[in-house]
Structure 1
Amino acid sequence: MSAYQKSDVLSGAIALIQDHMAVITGDVVLITADTLTDVGAIEAICNAVRLAGAQYSVMTIAQLPFQGALSDPYIPSTVAAAALEATVWIDLTLPYLAGSHVFDVALKKGLVRYNLAVGLDSDGLASLYDKVDLDVLYRVQSTLDGLATEAQQKGLSCRITTPLGTDVSFRIAEPSLTKPRRATSGGIYSIPGNLFMCPDLESVKGRIVIECAYHEYYTRLQTPITVEVDGAIRSVEGGGFDRRLMDRALRRACGGDLGYVIHLTHAFNPVARFKGTNLLEDVRAAGNDAVGFGRPWWIPGGGENHPDGVMSRQSLWIGDHHIASDGAFTGDFAHFEDELQPVYG
């Protein structure tokens, strides 16, 4: 049961569909879900599409055992046909369809606006979209995207630390995923509220300590997992039984190797709460980081089938800019803390 009123959930869905994804009359919207998707979220999104005057269909499939390219054998052919005809695709599945052959073909057509809304539920619709000022959120997003682009162009070093012992440095490389205010052209979009950074693979050096993991499912770890990185991942330690699952997931995604760190993020949504139960919301809670491990999708043999880890309360430096300390914006960026206030009422 949602912690929010049904009206809040619908308002969030309207913000997602009509504002963020810019759905209008004439759009054909595909909503993909699996057997564990929150039915309330599906209903609200359908109502928001209907209010926008667009056509929609919902395709519910069995929950995939893997995400991305590893899911190809499990995706019904009917999903491929629908994806090729859609102009907007809201993907609620988890594991998700991004990186699959179906996804690649649809995106290469250049028409569909795909939203990676993996596991988005009713609470997420209300909090991540209805209870935050999206214009303010995107001003912060644009500022951070600009700093990341500048760091990539100048080859500046970045650093992340956390109280649990993370201390990792890297340089940002292309492609990084910027987040425009509205989805007006074909491509991949995701829920706002975090800075996405793709590191130069060989530049990543140090230690990453994660508190949650998405290996074969999403879970809060009883014991943190420590990942030692020197270019490639050198070791995975701790985590109890989950270490075995993470090791297996890495080697499955990387052809037997442990792979690399393929993305890091910095979250700043003021309403998202870190509960350890919902990947989508956890990686947008202020100060959290979704760390992607594996083989990146932009090199031969790569695919969007990587394991993820979550860190909290991180401190972040991009070049000479100290962006955040212990999860909160600091220094020249401290004013974001006042501007990013939840919207209630």
Structure 2
Amino acid sequence: MANLTCDTRLTRAADVLLKDHFCVRDGECVLMTTDNATDPVVVDALAAAAGRLGAKPVVVSMPRLPFQGSLADPHIPGPVVEAVKAGDVWLDLTFPYMAGSHAHDQAMKAGRARYILLGDVGAAGLARLYGGVDFDRLFEVQSAVDAYFRAAEGKTCRITSRLGTDLTYTIGKPATRKDRYARNPGSQTVPGSAIMYPVPESVTGVVVLEAVFHEHYCVPKEPVRLEVDGKIRSVTGGGADTRVMDRSLRRAGGGDYGYLIHFSYGFHPAAMATGSSFIEDIRVVGCNAIGLGLPWWVPGGGENHPDGVVTNQSMWIDGVPVVEDGKLLVPAEAAEAAAILEPLYA
């Protein structure tokens, strides 16, 4: 593994993100939306990387949003809405984030911005996620796992975990994708995890969440347990965080708990379980980010949902073992690539 200084790792990561992933060109505007919890070291590193490419970095800051998605609409100032429509590349460093908000929708309809949800990633996290791995090889795994999940539409998936998660569902239609080269307007998320959308009414079983993102991201003193039969039927455990999850679900679901609306498999070998960065934690090998609330096609749905994290998951699709205690088994080409995908530094 390479012995790189922290500054070198972060510089490498910023260059990979802007030059290698988002293909930033001379003269483009790289807009960063930030809040009062954003790591200023990340902002400086990204601005410097944009400058090296001849782009024009712009930083727009505001107080931290209380909610994500359209629930944040009343709290996003008008000038911010106008700014995000004018950037060529939009790096969203707010958390709760702006994806799914009216401002985000307007920027996507304007057809100019190439957006990425970086959220609560700090300097060390960005260095790991974008500078701590061979990016081409990471996308070999990304593309293969994404294709495998897309081809599994209509099949039955079962997920378990060491702490007691055990649920099944029918895999629904794919709705998002990650691009190796983000050259066209639209939304992207950080690579290193693959997402599946269930048929919401088909999900049954128990989910034991080891970390939660309700109104903020945290690791509860005890896990939050969800009983699911089509809809979420109960929320228990977790102490005070259960109460926060309860009101977050009801706020996002219009008074109801709603459904389980997405699952994922994390496979980024450089990602670390921080307990403080949701964006990084859900990409740790074997982790599952589970979306809760209303599906994106239902009024009030989309990004207005809480999330929970399950670690060391196991997964079967139509009875075929896909993941065993966090380790990817199939598809074969992805498992082989993942097996040799090591961090560039410790």
In the TM superposition, residue 185 of structure 1 has moved relative to its aligned partner by 0.9
Partners of 1:258 and 1:294 within 8 A in 2: yes
In the TM superposition, residue 14 of structure 1 has moved relative to its aligned partner by 0.7
Partner of 1:164: 163
Partners of 1:329 and 1:336 within 8 A in 2: no
In the TM superposition, residue 337 of structure 1 has moved relative to its aligned partner by 4.0
Equivalent AA in structure 1 for residue 257 of structure 2 = L
Percent identity, aligned pairs only, is: 45
Aligned partners of 2:114, 2:297: CA distance in 1, in Å?
19
Partner of 2:297: 298
Partner of 1:28: 29
Partner of 1:19: 20
**TM-score, normalised with respect to structure 1:** 0.95
Aligned partners of 1:323, 1:176: CA distance in 2, in Å?
21
Residues 25-174 of structure 1 aligned to structure 2 (within 5 Å) = 25-152=26-153, 155-174=154-173
Unaligned runs of 5+ in 1: none
Q: Does 1:216 align with 2:218?
A: no
Aligned partners of 2:175, 2:320: CA distance in 1, in Å?
19
Aligned partners of 2:58, 2:338: CA distance in 1, in Å?
39
Q: Secondary structure at the match of 1:81?
A: helix
In the TM superposition, residue 108 of structure 1 has moved relative to its aligned partner by 1.5
Q: Does 1:279 align with 2:281?
A: no
Equivalent AA in structure 1 for residue 33 of structure 2 = T
Equivalent AA in structure 2 for residue 288 of structure 1 = C
Partner of 1:225: 224
Q: Secondary structure at the match of 2:344?
A: coil
Q: CA RMSD in A?
A: 1.5
Partners of 2:267 and 2:338 within 8 A in 1: no
Aligned partners of 2:179, 2:319: CA distance in 1, in Å?
25
C-alpha change, 1:4 and 1:74, in structure 2 (3 Å) is farther
C-alpha change, 1:211 and 1:108, in structure 2 (3 Å) is same
Partner of 1:184: 183
Partner of 1:252: 251
In the TM superposition, residue 228 of structure 1 has moved relative to its aligned partner by 1.1
Of 247-256 and 233-242, deviating more is: 233-242
Q: Does 1:338 align with 2:333?
A: no
Equivalent AA in structure 2 for residue 270 of structure 1 = P
Of 200-209 and 326-335, deviating more is: 326-335
Aligned partners of 1:260, 1:187: CA distance in 2, in Å?
26
Aligned partners of 2:317, 2:92: CA distance in 1, in Å?
32
Equivalent AA in structure 1 for residue 223 of structure 2 = P
Q: Secondary structure at the match of 1:78?
A: helix
In the TM superposition, residue 317 of structure 1 has moved relative to its aligned partner by 2.1
Residues 301-340 of structure 1 aligned to structure 2 (within 5 Å) = 301-330=300-329, 332=332, 334-340=335-341
Q: Secondary structure at the match of 1:221?
A: coil
Q: Secondary structure at the match of 2:221?
A: strand
In the TM superposition, residue 171 of structure 1 has moved relative to its aligned partner by 2.0
Q: Secondary structure at the match of 2:187?
A: strand
Equivalent AA in structure 1 for residue 198 of structure 2 = P
C-alpha offsets along residues 84-140 of structure 1, whole Å, 9 cap, x if unaligned? Answer: 111110001000001111111111222211101111210111101111011111111
In the TM superposition, residue 212 of structure 1 has moved relative to its aligned partner by 0.6
C-alpha offsets along residues 229-282 of structure 1, whole Å, 9 cap, x if unaligned? Answer: 111111111111111010000000111000111111100000101121211111
C-alpha offsets along residues 150-184 of structure 1, whole Å, 9 cap, x if unaligned? Answer: 111xx111111100011111222234322111101
Aligned partners of 1:339, 1:298: CA distance in 2, in Å?
38
Equivalent AA in structure 2 for residue 126 of structure 1 = A
**TM-score, normalised with respect to structure 2:** 0.95
Partners of 1:13 and 1:129 within 8 A in 2: yes
Equivalent AA in structure 2 for residue 262 of structure 1 = I
Of 281-290 and 18-27, deviating more is: 18-27
In the TM superposition, residue 334 of structure 1 has moved relative to its aligned partner by 4.2
- Kindly tell me the number of residue pairs found equivalent between the two proteins: 341
Aligned partners of 1:174, 1:108: CA distance in 2, in Å?
23
Aligned partners of 2:13, 2:93: CA distance in 1, in Å?
15
Partners of 2:157 and 2:318 within 8 A in 1: yes
Aligned partners of 2:112, 2:94: CA distance in 1, in Å?
21
Aligned partners of 1:234, 1:151: CA distance in 2, in Å?
27
Partners of 2:140 and 2:337 within 8 A in 1: no
Unaligned runs of 5+ in 2: none
Q: Secondary structure at the match of 1:40?
A: helix
